[in-house]
Amino acid sequence: AQTVTQSQPEMSVQEAETVTLSCTYDTSESDYYLFWYKQPPSRQMILVIRQEAYKQQNATENRFSVNFQKAAKSFSLKISDSQLGDAAMYFCASFPFGNEKLTFGTGTRLTIIP
């Protein structure tokens, strides 16, 4: 069974500052993907960033980067230079090879303070 845990229900950050959202996961599979999805008030689920577990290098997408610690099963998201448009619910998810099922955490609501 897969589990994904996001221990921070809510976070806030000053505009232009950096914030890190935490995520831990548990899977018995050796190969898997990890994702961060963003859900703004429009409710659209938007892919932010993806990490392949077999890659040691941390994924980056512009202002978004991850800190992937495979041994610790930790996958945090760092948002640099926070912008008002970053305000949303952020979901961490795991997707093991061969399982074809994306398992989500409970989400972290991020507020950007102007």
Partner 1 sequence: DSGVTQTPKHLITATGQRVTLRCSPRSGDLSVYWYQQSLDQGLQFLIQYYNGEERAKGNILERFSAQQFPDLHSELNLSSLELGDSALYFCASSGNGYTATNEKLFFGSGTQLSVL
Footprint of partner 1 on this chain (CB under 8 A)? 31, 33, 35, 37, 42-47, 50, 52, 91, 95-107
Query: Nearest approach, Cβ of 45 to partner 1 (angstroms)?
Result: 4
Report the residue number, 54 or 83, with the smaller CB distance to partner 1: 54
- Strand 19-21 to 74-79 pairing: antiparallel
Rounded to 10 degrees, the C-alpha dihedral 25/28/34/40 comes to: -50
Query: Nearest approach, Cβ of 51 to partner 1 (angstroms)?
Result: 12
DSSP assignment of 19-76 equals EEE--EEE-S-SSEEEEEEEE-TT---EEEEEEETT--SPPEETTEEEEEETTTTEEE
Query: Nearest approach, Cβ of 96 to partner 1 (angstroms)?
Result: 8
Report the residue number, 41 or 114, with the smaller CB distance to partner 1: 41
**Are the beta carbons of 89 and 65 closer than 8 angstroms?**
no
Report the residue number, 98 or 114, with the smaller CB distance to partner 1: 98
Report the residue number, 42 or 71, with the smaller CB distance to partner 1: 42
